[in-house]
Structure 1
Amino acid sequence: MPEGPSLVILRDEAARFRRRTVRRVEGNSKLDIQRMQGRRVVSVRSWGKHFLLEFSSFSLRVHMLMFGTYRIDEPKPDKPPRLALHFDNGTLYFYSSSLKYVEGPLDETYDWRADVMSPDWDPALARRKLKRQPDTLACDALLDQEVFAGVGNIIKNEVLFRIRVHPETRVGDLPPRKLGQLIAQAREYSFDFLEWKKQYVLRKHWLVHRKRECPECGSRLELAHLGTRQRRTFWCDHCQVRY
């Protein structure tokens, strides 16, 4: 599943279509995609794992789910797109993605303070939300899009190793300093992710995600599907403390 930093890259690449008119629409989506025919894109935005094309009275929300992808100008051979938007200056393609319309202003639907990639990100708000769910496991808290919009499984695993917290630690058991580190690193690692992905070196920087050996102590890493979301989790039982 593409995480928040990947959506920022898509947003920046698709910025060329801002103020451009949709000339032709294709795709196998069941959504009324022809609604966008002849409409002018007002802005290109992202929130968490959502890519947003804003028109004058509604927006298109694209969520790429687990296996969604996109292309600009170069369609995938022999695979029909879920959506193709043709502009005078190029074409935007989406595959295996969820499409939905958001009616009215985006500011009425999205709280930009929850997006870890947004300049409006509010760590104090994240702390208040976490304080209201003390029984939530750290591995689930980081994947809560209402708290950390844009954080996905890679970021979750890497952040918990960075701050040396066991994924099954309850949020309410975290010392205040560790809770602050969790919140800060959710954003900091996301921006590191963004820069590494732009340079095509993201995987080289993974410390525990999809790894077998702890880079700190050399112990064999644990792997299990943890939390209510049952997402694949990598951690070191020796270095990461269960509070």
Structure 2
Amino acid sequence: MPEGPTIILMKEDLQKFAGEKVTEVNGSEVPEKARIKGEILREIKTFGKQTYLIFDEIIFKVHLMMFGSYSLFKRKDIDTLKLGLTFKDGGIYFYTCVVKVVDESDLSKINWESDIMSKKWSDEKAIEKMQKHPEMLICDAMMNQDIFAGVGNIIKNEALFRAGIHPETLIKNLTKAKLKLIIKETKDYSFEFLKYKRTDTLSKTFQVYHKKTCPICGVEILKKETGKSKRMSFFCIKDQQLMK
């Protein structure tokens, strides 16, 4: 599933069509009565793993989910097109994803302080939210998009390793200082993720994600489904303490 940094890169790709007029629209998720042809793409916003395409009369929310993808300028020869917007000099095409029509009230309800890559991100609000769920595992908290919008499984694993925290540690067993450390490592790695993604070197930076041995002590990396979501965690039992 694309994580926050990847969505920011997608926005940069799409930005070339901002201010352009739609000449053709197609896809299985286009409302029948929607008047999109002739509309101008006014703005593109992202929040966590979601992208908003904002027109005067309609707003599309796009979530790539696990297997979604997009192409620019030319439509792929596949039958999973959910939304296609053609402009004078190319187009935007989304496949195998979730596309919904929302209104301005949905945008106004977005808590930008929850987006790990937003300038409005709030450490204190994240800590406050986590501490309201003392029995929650930290691996679940980090994948909770109401707390860490934009964080996915790669960022979760790499940030917890950097912080030296076992993914199955309960929130109630983490001091405020430890929570701050987790947030710092999550933010830092998210922006590193973006930098490495630009140069197509991200996988070369992984320390534990799909790795076999710990880069610190050489112990075998444990691979295990953790938390309520049963997402895969990769961690070192020696260097990542299970706080009790």
Q: Give the TM-score range, shorter chain.
A: over 0.9
Aligned to 1:5: 5
Larger CA deviation: 226-235 vs 118-127: 118-127
Q: Which residue matches 1:205? A: 205
Tell me if structure 1 keeps the 8 A contact 2:23–2:88: yes
Corresponding residue of 1:94: 94
Conserved? CA contact 1:58–1:105, under 8 Å = no
Report the alpha carbon displacement of residue 111 of structure 1 after superposing the two structures with TM: 1.2
Tell me, in whole angstroms, the C-alpha distance in 2 between the residues paired with 1:196 and 1:115: 20
Q: Partners of 1:32 and 1:130 in 2: how far apart?
A: 42
> How far apart, CA to CA, are the structure 1 residues paired with 2:192 and 2:106?
27
Q: What residue in structure 1 maps to residue 162 of structure 2?
A: 162
The CA distance in 1 between the partners of 2:155 and 2:15, in whole Å, is 25
After TM superposition, the score normalised by the length of structure 1 is: 0.95
Q: Which is further off, 31-40 or 123-132?
A: 31-40
**Separation in 2 of the partners of 1:232 and 1:165?**
15
SS of aligned partner of 1:228: coil
Q: What's the counterpart of residue 68 of structure 2? A: 68
> Secondary structure of the equivalent of 2:150?
coil
Tell me: CA distance 1:106–1:29, structure 2 relative to 1, closer, same or farther (3 Å). Answer: closer
**Helix, strand or coil at the partner of 2:146:** coil
Aligned-pair RMSD on alpha carbons?
1.5
Closer/same/farther in 2, CA of residues 228 and 31 from structure 1, 3 Å limit: farther
For residues 133-183 of structure 1, what are the alpha-carbon distances to aligned partners after superposition, in whole Å with 9 as ceiling and x for unaligned? 111101000001001100000000001101010000011111221110111
8 A contact 1:69–1:96 mirrored in 2: yes
Q: How far has the Cα of 1:231 moved from its partner?
A: 0.3
The yes-or-no answer on 1:196 pairing with 2:196 is yes
In structure 1, the partner of 2:235 is 235
Write the distance in 1 (CA, Å) between the matches of 2:9 and 2:169: 32
How far has the Cα of 1:227 moved from its partner?
0.2
The letter for the 1-side match of 2:18 is R
Whether the 8 Å CA contact 2:168–2:227 is kept in 1: the answer is: yes
The 8 Å contact of residues 58 and 104 in structure 1, kept in 2 or not, is answered as no
Relative to structure 1, is the Cα distance of residues 33 and 175 closer, same or farther in structure 2, using a 3 angstrom cutoff? farther
Q: How does 1:67-216 map to 2 (within 5 A)?
A: 67-105=67-105, 107-216=107-216
Q: Identity of counterpart residues, as a percentage? A: 35
Letter matched to residue 111 of structure 1? N
SS in 2 for 1:155: helix
Mapped to 2, the partners of 1:176 and 1:223 lie a distance apart of 27
Corresponding letter in the other structure for 2:224: A
The answer as to whether partners of 1:160 and 1:167 remain within 8 angstroms in 2 is yes
